Amino acid sequence: MGKIIRNKIHGMSWWTKTSLVLLFTLVTSVFMYQGWYKPIQAAAGVSYLGMSSATGTSTTLSVAAPAGLQVGDLMVISVTSRTTATTLPTMGSTGWTTLYPLTLRTTSTYRYSTSAYKVATSGDIGANFTVNCGTGTVAANIYAFRGVDPANPIDASSGKANTTASTTLSANTITTTSDNDTIVFLGQVSETTSVNFSNWATANIAAANWTAIDNTGTTSGSNGAAYAVKATAGAVGAGTATLSTSYINGGVLIALRPISIVNPTVTGLSTTSMAQGSGPSTVTITGTGFQNGATVDVSGTGVTAGTVSYVNATTLTVPVTVAADAAAGARTLTVTNPDTGFATTTFTVNNAPAPTVVSTAPAFMIQGAGPAMVTITGSNFQSGSTVAFSGTGITLGAVTYVDSTTLTVPVTVAVGATLGGRDVTVTLPGGVSGSGSALFTVNSPCAAGQPTALAHGTETTTSVPLTWTPGANTNYSIVFRDGVQIATNILTGSYTDNTAQPGTSYNYTVTGYNTAGSCQSAPSTATTAVTLAQAPVAPAVSNIGTGTQLSVAVNSDANSAAAQYAIRINGGAYTNQYIQSGGTIGATAAWLTKSGWGIKTISGLTSGTPYTFDVKARNGALVETGFGPSSTVTPKIALSSAITNCGGCHGNPPADGTGRNVPAGQFKGSHAKHTGIATCAACHKDNGVAPAGNKHSDGIIDIASPLRQIAGESYGQASHAVSETPTFASCTTYCHSQGTSKTSQSGESRTTLSAPATNLVWGTGTSTCTSCHASPPNYAAGTTTWGTAKANAHGGATHASKTCDYCHTSVTYSGGVYTTNAQHANGAYDIQPSFGYTYAATGGTCATSGCHGSVAWNGTLGCIDCHSSPITRKYGRPGVQLSAVKTEFGLTWGHKKSGRGAVTDADCIVCHLEGESATGKSSATYHQNGNIDLRDPDVQGESLITNIAGTASFTFQRFSTSFVSGSRTSSASVDTIANVITQKFCLKCHDADGAKNTTAWTAGGNAFMPFGGVNLGTDYSTANGAAAQGGLVNVAAQFALANSSKHPVLGPLNRDFPAATRMNVPYKPTGTRGTSGTLSQGVVINCFDCHNTPVTPLTLRTVTAHGNNNTLRGVPAVSGTAAAGTNESTLCKVCHAGYDTNTTADHGAGSAAGTSATFDKTEKLPYIRYGCNLCHSSKYASTVAAGAVRPVRAADVHGSNVVPTGVVTKLSGSRWAGTVNNGPIAFIRNSNQFSNHNPKKIGATTYTPQCMGGGSGSFSTCNRSSNETYAPGGTY
């Protein structure tokens, strides 16, 4: 089909193709003009504006806003801090949203950095912002961007602390969801050496596409930045940059989401065309989607659009000027919004009106004369016009434009120029021309001599006397006025012109006529006369109707348009004063022509006082007349001759003044405050509503009773007379109440009307929120002073932090100012429709998405009220869901089992600073701050846990751990979230002194039983591992590094076995293992390596903290004689590999138990493979109940330094029976089965590796006296 159409077009003639193009253009224009076609939505680009920076050594730093900042621009701040304090830098100024506070170094002198953003408000322009930090050096840079979506500026972001010094700075990858995001890359180095940045790049945006903002650091800290555009949404990739010096550093990637714009439309122009040489003329543009700051441009040259005035989103006005030489034809007029959206329409330049040429003065010249100035009169002349005379022999000089009716041009007539009349043509700059036929005549030299001594006598208003001396050979004279002949056959040397107009300047010349030669002489030298002005008529004076203004204009008279007038005023405070050109009044006369005066408005007059105006005139020679007759008018408030509405008298609503008619026509009162809230009938009688009986205009202000036709509402006076000094009262109405009384809500049962907090007297003072109910309303919850008890939760920390419009639709809030609407005093609460609010007279219920579930107004709203159901986070990790943690406490292994009492808010506060211990309510500091803030169990008060070094507070936005290769190291001081929680939180509570911080106890609790002092039972003894009788388990002691058996939580284990092949990822040891006596470090683990969900462990949350049906990753101990794959100690398999698959009676290669079928009894094989706790615990039994009691089981797994007393007697003379090295090795301490166990080596002491069974063991598998030796045995 495409080829067919192409061939058809190729076969068309040029005229046919042109016609098709014109037709398509016309159709498209019509569609756009009618609004049937609208430009598609576009994305505005984000542009970088500039930056500001500051450095310092104090604990606060002030940074100025970048120059050129506008409302809606986005600021991004990057801060580096080098300090001796454990204080991360924070924003001291409000309104900033923190992105990534990074801890770069946690020892010696600390290195920190942070980043934040803020959408600029009007108060930010030219402002200074405060950064708080520790004592040391600090540097901060603010980068400003325009075109970022102010409602949702950040599409994605990441922050990375690179704690190992390097010349490569790196940042974690981000993924954008919007096209055309601008990616900002921040580099942060907190050193006192200036560091430079280069080679910015990410995996998916090459270095060549990045624009560096700031590559140079300072000696107070170095903040570098660059940006690039990601055209399509998707992965940005990890970021890298090069540092000039190797240091620890921070890298932050931020994706700025651009504004999505919709192009405006133009639907009409008040003037769709203008003529060449016209303007400036105001053109009104109508359409949709216009923005304040829009510009207008017209294509081509010669058409200038001035400054655009923004009226509203549908109307713009702009002055347009068309140059005289602008090319005629259609142009494109374009409206462009500040956000780059645009719309076009057609604007046409028309040819200028053709000039008319009426006369020339002089109308003739003789051959050989000139150059002489010839005046051409006519109409529609323009500056830049050219002049041409027909025929040859006439030379013209440069044309001078005088006005639209007059041109002058020097004319020279050649000696041989053709005699007779010549046409005169005027051509405008745009090419339009007009001609006058035979308006100029070339005459032959004449015998008549030139008249001399032409002069005028004393002028009158209508006459000018002339005298002259006729030249030789003159038979009579001819008189010309302004180039036009007015008299002929004058035989003497005098003539009086009696046809002149008053106040007019005339130019006279005279020629002589020789009858023999039938010719005129050259004209005489001209004389200029000015007739006297005529005394003016009375001026036109009118009452404007405001009471303080009059208008005055000069009336038409016989004077010429060039005559000037002065207007005098007398009356009131003015005696013989003059109206000035601007309408003010002064002592000196101002002179203007009639058109120059126009109609002047005189303001500031006294209502009811008569004022007299009269006028005098003067001519061009400044000869003045006397004053003409006067006009006297009194300013007063004008009423319509036919009053049809309220506006005919006092307005609707009446305007509020400071007194009666001050300003003119106004009342003292408060009507403006009630506009849109109350109708006239709500407060007044006889304004067209019942009850009748009082005349509307009888001079009495009648008040409705009851007000608003609502029982119980009233005003302090039934009526009062209109007065210059009225006395007003106050209203008793729900509008001014505290809000605790009856309402208009459906279901209202109260009848009592409450009084306002402050009595508001009509016409006085300014009412605010505090006048009625305070802001926020602060009446006592449940008060009965003014009505039935009513709840009040406005004063709660969270509610008080919100503006009223957050919950109520009856007001709007912007820039610190509340604006009410008609709902504000309608007697209803007007709750936002999105809130799940249910009305009740004394306080309803509310369920607000993102805040809390359904709760009674002023009811209990604590931790368990909100966290009993899932919550979508709004802070820290917006959009991430928090689980319903309340129910987790009541599960089988809850931290506080429901069987010990219902879970309360206080239980949550034991661990979380989000609640305050003293009040039991949410903390204004920590609640909803975007972080998880854990309470330090040992440091008294509302104290955060610290990092492992104890040098800085530690908080996090979301729990996270990892089970990938390399995620565990041999250092116990790495500040991962899991490590810090294990060592500084869990083990600070589960230690010998328990939770010493009394704020970590609920009522009745103590250090060892923080949850209400509930005793855990007789088995929880210090001998069994509890910190106190009936108290929590002392886990810290079980992990002690001095223990002979312990899992590596507080530090790594230096061992020769097991080999790396016998450990699962990420628990493989470092170095070479598997050779007896060759030692290497293992890795450090944390609580969540074992206490997690079975099979697939959680990485982004922990169920251990609250509870779960199973909080272990596997079964720690089995019982009975059927140890097998279905009855297996699976917890051990989380870390240890290959033990359950080995087929011989040993643990296999890479294990301390060797590969020589050491445990040679075949009945032992199932336990060697599946029943780990037969050997590696304190007891193995036929049933779980008969096994080790809790909390002994904890020591069996965590660690111990004791072999407990068991059924089997410890072998005499053995290691177990001795006093040195007599602790359990490799967790083997089952004295119910064994009498002794030896490794190969403990410290410097060497043993023969063996396992000694007991003849009186409590379990049949090892119920015999046997001694099993094995190799290699292991070194401990």
The closest alpha carbon to 510, from 460, 561, 468, 542, belongs to: 468
Please give the pLDDT value at position 993.
96
Q: Answer yes or no: are the C-beta atoms of 142 and 77 closer than 8 Å.
A: yes
Q: Taking the CB of residue 811, how many other CB atoms lie within 10 A of it?
A: 16
Q: How confident is the model at residue 446 (pLDDT cuts 50, 70, 90)?
A: confident
Please give the pLDDT value at position 340.
82
Does the pLDDT value for residue 35 go beyond 50? no
Q: What are the CA-CA distances from residue 650 to residues 236, 640, 653, 661 (Å)? A: 66, 11, 8, 10
Q: How confident is the model at residue 193 (pLDDT cuts 50, 70, 90)?
A: very high
388 burial via Cβ count (<10 Å: 0-12, 13-18, 19+): middle
DSSP-based three-state secondary structure for 569:
strand
Q: Which of 639-643, 890-894, 948-952 has the lowest mean pLDDT?
A: 639-643
Q: Which of 306-320, 837-851, 969-983 has the lowest mean pLDDT?
A: 837-851
The closest alpha carbon to 212, from 193, 198, 196, 202, belongs to: 198
| DSSP string across 1195-1250 | HHHHEES-----SSPPPTTSTTTSSSS-S-BTTB--TTTEEEEE-SEETTEE---E
What single letter denotes the amino acid at residue 1150?
G
Does the pLDDT value for residue 976 go beyond 90? yes
Does the pLDDT value for residue 839 go beyond 80? no
Please give the pLDDT value at position 813.
85
Does the pLDDT value for residue 552 go beyond 90? yes
pLDDT (average), residues 115-138: 94
pLDDT (average), residues 692-697: 56
Q: Answer yes or no: are the C-beta atoms of 162 and 111 closer than 8 Å.
A: no
Q: Which of 27-36, 257-266, 808-817 has the highest mean pLDDT?
A: 257-266
Q: How confident is the model at residue 1207 (pLDDT cuts 50, 70, 90)?
A: confident
Residues 166, 172, 173: CA angle, nearest 5 degrees = 135
pLDDT digits (tens, 9 = 90+) for 79-101: 999 998 888 899 999 999 999 99
Q: How confident is the model at residue 29 (pLDDT cuts 50, 70, 90)?
A: very low
Strand pairing class (519-520; 505-514): antiparallel
Please give the pLDDT value at position 26.
47
pLDDT (average), residues 564-574: 96
Q: Answer yes or no: are the C-beta atoms of 1038 and 1200 closer than 8 Å.
A: yes
Please give the pLDDT value at position 114.
96
Q: How confident is the model at residue 293 (pLDDT cuts 50, 70, 90)?
A: very high
Please give the pLDDT value at position 16.
55
Q: Answer yes or no: are the C-beta atoms of 327 and 300 closer than 8 Å.
A: yes
Q: How confident is the model at residue 1105 (pLDDT cuts 50, 70, 90)?
A: confident
Please give the pLDDT value at position 662.
60
Does the pLDDT value for residue 517 go beyond 70? yes
DSSP-based three-state secondary structure for 911:
helix
Please give the pLDDT value at position 871.
82
- Phi first, then psi: what are they for 1046, rounded to 5°? -165, 150
Assess if CATH 2.60.40.10 describes domain 263-350. Answer: yes
CA 251 to chain centre: 25
pLDDT digits (tens, 9 = 90+) for 213-256: 999 999 999 999 999 999 999 999 999 999 999 999 999 999 99
Does the pLDDT value for residue 405 go beyond 50? yes
Q: Which of 8-22, 502-516, 681-695, 1219-1233 has the lowest mean pLDDT?
A: 8-22
Does the pLDDT value for residue 1158 go beyond 90? no
Please give the pLDDT value at position 32.
41
Does the pLDDT value for residue 591 go beyond 60? yes
Q: Which of 315-329, 977-991, 1179-1193 has the lowest mean pLDDT?
A: 1179-1193
What fold characterizes domain 452-530? Immunoglobulin-like (2.60.40)
Q: Taking the CB of residue 1254, how many other CB atoms lie within 10 A of it?
A: 24
Q: How confident is the model at residue 671 (pLDDT cuts 50, 70, 90)?
A: confident
Q: Which of 204-218, 388-402, 692-706 has the lowest mean pLDDT?
A: 692-706
Q: How confident is the model at residue 27 (pLDDT cuts 50, 70, 90)?
A: very low
Q: How confident is the model at residue 660 (pLDDT cuts 50, 70, 90)?
A: low
Q: Which of 301-305, 469-473, 808-812, 946-950 has the lowest mean pLDDT?
A: 808-812
The percent helix, strand, coil of the chain (3-state, each to 5) is 10, 35, 55
Higher-confidence residue of 690 and 1104: namely 1104
Does the pLDDT value for residue 830 go beyond 90? no
Does the pLDDT value for residue 287 go beyond 90? yes
Q: Which of 77-81, 655-659, 1057-1061 has the lowest mean pLDDT?
A: 655-659
pLDDT digits (tens, 9 = 90+) for 730-765: 887 777 776 666 666 666 666 666 666 667 788 776
72 burial via Cβ count (<10 Å: 0-12, 13-18, 19+): middle
Q: Answer yes or no: are the C-beta atoms of 978 and 952 closer than 8 Å.
A: no
Please give the pLDDT value at position 639.
55
Q: How confident is the model at residue 453 (pLDDT cuts 50, 70, 90)?
A: very high
Please give the pLDDT value at position 155.
95
CATH class of the domain whose range is 540-633: mainly beta
Q: How confident is the model at residue 681 (pLDDT cuts 50, 70, 90)?
A: confident
pLDDT (average), residues 1234-1246: 92
Q: How confident is the model at residue 711 (pLDDT cuts 50, 70, 90)?
A: confident
758 bridge partner residues? none
Structure letter (DSSP) for residue 900? G
Torsion over CA: 34, 37, 40, 41 (sign)? positive
Please give the pLDDT value at position 36.
39
What single letter denotes the amino acid at residue 259?
I
Note the residue count of the chain.
Answer: 1276
Please give the pLDDT value at position 1161.
67
Q: What are the CA-CA distances from residue 337 to residues 261, 293, 334, 477, 1070 (Å)? A: 10, 7, 10, 71, 64
Residues 446, 452, 456: CA angle, nearest 5 degrees = 130
> What does the mean pLDDT of the chain come to?
86
- Phi first, then psi: what are they for 557, rounded to 5°? -145, -165
Does the pLDDT value for residue 1186 go beyond 90? no
Q: What are the CA-CA distances from residue 727 to residues 292, 343, 720, 724 (Å)? A: 45, 58, 9, 10
Provide the whole-model pTM.
Answer: 0.48
Please give the pLDDT value at position 696.
65
pLDDT (average), residues 1077-1094: 93
Higher-confidence residue of 1204 and 705: namely 1204
